[in-house]
Amino acid sequence: MTVMAAGVDVHAHVAGPKVNTGRNFRPEDKLFNTTAGSGLKRMEGGFSVPTVLRTAYLYARMGFGFSMEAAMPPLYARHTHEEIRDTPPIIDQGALPVFGNNWFVLEYLKENEIENTAAYIAWLLNQTKGFGIKCVNPGGTESWGWGMNCETVDDVVPYFDVTPPRQIVSGLIAANEYLGLPHCMHVHGNSLGEPGNYEITLDTLKIAEDFKPQNDFGREVVLHNTHLQFHCYGGESYASKSFESKSKEVVNYINSVDNISYDLGVVTLDETTTMTADGPFEHHLSHMNNLKWANTDVELETGSGIVPFIYNPKTFIAGAQWAVGLECGLFIKDPMRAYITTDAPNAGPLCRYPRVYKWLMSAKARDDMLDNTLKYGDKIRERCYIGELDREISLYELAMMTRAGPAKTLGLSHMFGSLKPGLEGDVAVYPYNPETDTDDPEKIEYAFGNAAYLIKGGKLIVNEGEIVDMGNKRTFWVNATVNDNPMVERDISEKFRRYYTVTQNNYTVEGEHYVRNPYVIEVDATK
Amino acid sequence: MTKIITDVVCPFCGTLCDDLEVAVSDDGEEILEVYNACAIGATKFLHSQAKDRITRPRMKQEDGSWKEVTYDDAVDYTANLLVDAKKPLMYGWSSTSCPAQGVGSEIGEEVCACMDNTATVCHGSTLIAVQDVGVPSATLGEIANRADRVVFWGGCNPAHAHPRHMSRYSIFPRGFFTGKGSKSRKMIVVDPRKTDTAKMADVHLQLEQGRDYELLSAIRVAIRGEELPDFVAGIPKEEIYETAETLKSGRFTVIFFGMGVTHSLGKNHNIDIAIMVTRDLNDYTKAAIVAMRGGHYNVTGSGQVWGGWQFGFPFCLDLTRGFARYNPGDSSSNDLLVRDEVDAVFVLGSDPPGAHFPVRSVKKIAQLPSVCIDPHITPPTSAVSKMHVPVAFVGVEVGGCAYRMDNVPIETRKVVEPPEGMLTDEEFLQKVLDRVRELKGGQHNHDRVSHQKWFCLRLFRGGLTETKWMSLSKTARSSMQAMSQSRPSLMPLA
């Protein structure tokens, strides 16, 4: 048996309007995999975009105790919280509202008004019961309001013209540290998925050089670059003669600094559903695969898109993406700053986490993929770094990359991520013997997908692989106190009066009905 | 003295106006006046004040008269009705809050019901089209702030059906980039009728009734600059080219569509192609499409609760096998009723005989054990039901979340107290759920699982029975098995 603290998921799309649109518009995702309830469990269904019930049961089976919903459009915060409330209470959750294309933020940062930005962020976190700052395709989604995009960090946002993404990212980091929030700024940079985008990624990461972490939560990073895999591409096209992996360059840069963390976003070679607040990217993707495309632009705040996607192991590019994702996990020197995710469900469904662990922990499993499953294994070895990597992640490193690290970057290391005394008492036990089970990589995948025991807050949730208790979910949110700021208050009421279609009083998410069991983290930024 | 309650949300249609002001008496018991609402919305608030409102459940006697019963009796009757039925139909769910829909989902799951909402006779075909081709959309505020080309297509007549839509969201508001209000927008109405909305339009394309698909298709052709015949759907080709040019030349084009396309000839295919027009337009400019949903203010919400997070399908849910199935046309309520497939009917938050069901279906409801849960005074459904349970009005006497036509969730407000002792629908449903669980005594799950195992075998064989399966050729059998195995499934983790 292997005993670890319960897992902490730093980035997954498991609740909220776009996840729900994904469920709603993909009945085929439920084909052959809806199951009846049994024991304490209710009926469940869905593969890449499972119902909230399956999501929670999956997390329990994988031994997770906390999950961060990666993107919450503020206007739809109620929806996100309704889903979190209805997700079986096995798992604690929080949600990150998106700020990267918010008109308030764009207008304040145009004038470099960090204090006002921070005051607005504090207000919005309070209104939406959000946890931290997410920034998706800074400036790009606002441009998408006119059918355009921001492809580099210096592209200009239409109308808000002096606010290029470079300013948005640095401004949001500054505001985050001004407030001293538990989590750092969580960014999904420009030009996701474009060949040659690694330079833009490096430009984005370098913005963090000017900042130092300032918080009371033991967090040491100022920027979290999510699903790094999608941001490490070289070359000019997806063809095997041009595309190349640049994971080494990007991760080496991250190794050379100490204030950046990231998660992997490993492609798991499944049929899945992509969904992001990066509206223009999803439009672009729908032109690549010609499958159905859903999009919702959200007034004054953000946008989003959803497209089903098949990462076909018979194509070069899907295999190369798979390789890049794993390389991001294997090049890291400090596993406390690289976290294992599939950007669920963008690069792969939630249920594939254990499979990613297998690939990272076993060179044999990777070789087996390259030799037997991927059609262009040799080409992938040639164009990516996967062939030269024989590192195998140890169980200790795995614990850092799935628990201790994410807990630390989320500012929750005083509660989760470790077995030391004084924490929350979240423990997972996996049927894996590190002495004898090393012969077969399949045992890794099985063990981490079938926790024998899960203890949450000292309470037994999973006993011998069966869910025996539904636990007592908490919704985490951050209440940041700032000095009175009449200007921001006036701007807010003005925008609601003139440009929002809901009144300011109807915007606030409050009441037990949405956040049944809140866990409020107080942050004082008045000094 | 009166008290004014502000920011009140109107629980009538899917426009969910949230700027109403309601004057209530000093003791907070009575609604005196409703400001800012349209005539329909105001009437809903005032209706709740009727003196002859029914405040206790009532049971129909053999002679057709009603007898008042207690809520406990009503809970017991409802729970027994659902538990005893082999295949109950639980219909409606559109005029209630999401939490109530959530509790209802759990009841449906416990009793293995068929569950359906009013989308089945409304925008259900839109939901199917979205499952076919997706939907590029935007919130109504995005439209107010940006849209300079506004199309109302097909039986969508906001002047009467969503009276404040044009003033709040689509035509008149002076948005951030649309400072001149209606002058900064070009309004196109496509409707065979000369409706009051059409009279306001810059362009009215009065097409032949039932020819929406042809006209939408022609617009796609015109957008691409290809050749058209002289007339399509009764519209001369010059006008079609001009319309296409207008749509393309906008900075932000939005298409609203209504029941004229969802339930005329072609149904979901009409929406398919309307969505494809929007998709095409996005290659030239920015475009969005929004269904004018919500004759019931929270039909969108029930699609979100079921279609998303609870079951994965937005309407026509068949839970009879213990897990969710979805097959509109087979599992839709009217089809189930006319085929005599259901043996009990439960209606909440909708009024099938009054509003939307064909008389053939209504007759079936009248023949079956049935319960109607509805706050209105004498909803037509109560006339054909055996039991009528009045509940508090959501949005007037109790709050609760509802989803606007663009899926934006808004918390409705409580304005006055419900009549004394009256339950809300959520409270009533919770009692039913508890009673159902009591009656089932926990033995139910086991049956469901064995049932499911049997069905999985059939799924593996393409849903065929043993005899049918054996009658297939060997090649056909193996190809069907290969097909079912190649699907990504959760099997390895199960």
Q: Is residue B143 part of a domain?
A: yes
Whether pLDDT at B454 is above 50: no
Residue B489 resides in a domain: no
Query: Do B225 and B184 fall into the same domain?
Result: yes
pLDDT value for A152:
83
Domain membership of residue B52 (yes or no) is no
Q: What is the maximum alpha-carbon separation in chain B?
A: 83
Do A255 and A326 form a contact (C-beta atoms < 8 A)?
Answer: no
Q: What is the pLDDT of residue B492?
A: 32
Taking residues B481-494, report their average pLDDT.
44
**Residue B221 to residue B486: CA distance in whole angstroms:** 38
What pLDDT score was predicted for residue B154? 82
Amino acid letter for position A494? E
Q: What is the pLDDT of residues B141-200, one digit of tens each?
A: 999 999 999 999 988 899 999 999 999 999 999 999 999 999 999 999 999 999 999 999
Q: In angstroms, rounded to a whole number, what is the distance separating the alpha carbons of residues A326 and A268? A: 10
Higher pLDDT, A302 or B1: A302
The shortest CB-CB distance from A500 to any of B141, B174, B288 is to B141
Q: Beta partners for B412?
A: B400
Q: What is the distance between the alpha carbons of residues A77 and A96, in angstroms, rounded to a whole number? A: 10
Question: Average of pLDDT values for A132-160?
Answer: 91
Indicate left, alpha or beta for B488 from its phi (over 0: left) and psi (-120 to 50: alpha): beta
Domains: count for chain A: 1
Question: C-alpha angle A240/A241/A243, rounded to 5°?
Answer: 60
Mean pLDDT computed over every residue of chain A: 95
Give the pLDDT mean for B22-51. Answer: 93
Query: Of all residues in chain A, what percent are helix, strand and coil, respectively (each to 5)?
Result: 40, 20, 40
pLDDT of residue B470: 67
User: What is the C-alpha R_g of chain A?
Assistant: 21
Highest mean pLDDT among A33-47, A113-127, B382-396, B472-486: A113-127
Same domain, B392 and B301: yes
Taking residues B4-20, what's their average pLDDT? 95
Query: Does residue B313 sit at the A interface (CB-CB below 8 Å)?
Result: yes
Tell which residue, A520, A518, A514, A521, has the closest CA to residue A16. Answer: A514
Q: What is the pLDDT of residues B333-374, one digit of tens each?
A: 999 999 999 999 999 988 887 767 999 999 999 999 999 999
Residues in chain B: 494
For residue B494, tell me if it sits in a domain: no
Q: Quote the CA–CA distance of B233 and B260 in Å, as a whole number.
A: 15
**Are residues B409 and B403 in contact, defined by beta-carbon separation less than 8 angstroms?**
yes
Q: What are the residues whose beta carbons fall under 8 Å from the beta carbon of A468, sequence distance 6 or more? A: A40, A460, A461, A462
> Residue A419 — very low, low, confident or very high, per pLDDT cuts 50/70/90?
very high
- pTM of the predicted protein model: 0.93
Whether residues B287 and B140 share a domain: the answer is: yes
Cβ A180 vs Cβ A215: under 8 Å: yes
- The residue type of B483 is M
- The answer to whether residue B491 sits within a structural domain is no
**Residue numbers in B near A30 (CB within 8 A):** 312-313, 324, 326
Tell me the one-letter amino acid at B147. A
Which whole number is the average pLDDT over B261-283? Answer: 94
The DSSP 8-state label assigned to residue A470 in this structure reads -
Q: Which range marks the domain in which residue A229 is found?
A: 2-524
B7/A506 touch (CB, cutoff 8 Å), yes or no: yes
Calculate mean pLDDT across residues A255-264: 97
Mean pLDDT calculated for residue range A31-46: 90
Task: Choose among B174, B308, B492: nearest Cβ to A23.
Answer: B308
Residues B83 and B177 in one domain: no
Q: What is the DSSP letter of B73?
A: H
Tell if the CB–CB gap between A51 and B312 is shorter than 8 Å: yes
- Find the mean pLDDT for residues B270-277: 96
Residues 6+ apart with CB under 8 A from B63: none
- Among B residues 377-396, those touching chain A with beta carbons less than 8 Å apart: none
Tokens of A377: 């294994």
SS3 B20: strand
Structural domain boundaries, residue B28: 2-47
Residues A262-271 as b/e (b if ≥16 CB within 10 A, e otherwise) read: bbbbbbbbbb
Q: Which of A82, A499, A502 sits opposite B145 (nearest CB)?
A: A499
Across the interface, whether the CB atoms of A36 and B322 are under 8 A apart is answered yes
The verdict on B134 and B262 lying in the same domain is: yes
- Residue B136 is predicted with a pLDDT of 96
Contact A17, A76 (CB under 8 A): yes
Neighbours of B112 (CB within 10 A): 24
| Strands (DSSP E) found in B223-305 | 231-232, 235-236, 252-257, 286-291
Amino acid identity, position A12 = A
Residues B139 and B286 in one domain: yes
Cβ contacts of B211 within 8 Å, gap of 6 or more? B232, B233, B234
Q: Indicate whether B134 and B246 sit together in one domain.
A: yes
Contact criterion met (CB < 8 Å) for B403 and A35: no
- Output the six-digit token pair for A13: 């799309």
* Structure confidence at residue B458 (pLDDT): 47
Please give, rounded to a whole number of angstroms, the shortest distance from the CA of A194 to a CA of chain B.
19
CB–CB contact A293 B134 (8 Å): yes
d(CA B18, CA B40): 15
Strands (E), A254-386: 260-263, 271-276, 294-298, 302-310, 338-339
pLDDT digits (tens, 9 = 90+) for B104-114: 999 999 999 99
Query: What is the count of structural domains for chain B?
Result: 4
Least-confidence region, from B131-140, B350-359, B448-457: B448-457
For residues B477 and B143, is the Cβ–Cβ distance under 8 A? no
C-alpha distance from A149 to closest chain B C-alpha (Å): 12
Contact predicate A228/A246, CB 8 Å: no
Instruction: Give the residue from B291, B326, B356 where a domain finishes.
Output: B291
If asked whether residues B37 and B64 sit together in one domain, one would say no
SS3 assignment, position A35: strand
Do residue B39 and residue B77 come from a single domain? no
Average pLDDT over chain B, rounded to an integer: 89
Contacts of A20 in chain B (CB under 8 A): 304, 307-309
Instruction: Report the pLDDT averaged over residues A180-209.
Output: 95
Q: Which residues contact B306 (CB under 8 A, 6 or more apart)?
A: B101, B105, B115, B117, B313, B314, B315, B317
The enclosing domain of B365 has a CATH number of 3.40.50.740
Q: Say if residue B133 is in the same domain as residue B266.
A: yes
B463 Cβ contact list (under 8 Å, min separation 6): none
pLDDT at B305 > cutoff 60 = yes
Mean pLDDT of B204-210: 95
How far is C-alpha A66 from the chain's CA centre?
13
* Chain A contact for B419 (CB, 8 A cutoff): no
Are B32 and B144 members of one domain?
A: no
pLDDT tens sequence across A442-491: 999 999 999 999 999 889 999 999 999 999 999 999 999 999 999 999 99
Please say if the pLDDT value at position B445 is more than 60: no
Contacts of B247 (CB under 8 A, 6+ apart): B149, B151, B188, B219, B223, B253, B277, B281, B285, B287
A21 vs B contacts (CB less than 8 Å): 308, 407
Query: In this complex, which of B252, B305, B489 lies closest to A47 when CB atoms are compared?
Result: B489
Could you give the ipTM of this predicted complex?
0.94
State residue B464's pLDDT score.
Answer: 58
Quote the pLDDT of residue B415: 95
Q: Strand pairing partners for A391?
A: none
For residue A272, what is the nearest residue in chain B, using CA coordinates? B488
Using CA atoms, how far apart are residues A332 and A340, in angstroms rounded to an integer?
A: 12
Report the C-alpha gap between A297 and A262 in whole angstroms. 27
CATH code: domain of residue B273: 3.40.228.10
The torsion defined by the Cα of A318, A324, A326 and A327, in degrees rounded to 10, comes to: 160
For residue B405, is it within any domain? no
- The Cα–Cα gap between A461 and A455 comes to 6
Overall average pLDDT of the B67-87 stretch: 95
Query: Does residue B276 share a domain with residue B154?
Result: yes
Q: What average pLDDT does range B313-325 have in this prediction?
A: 93
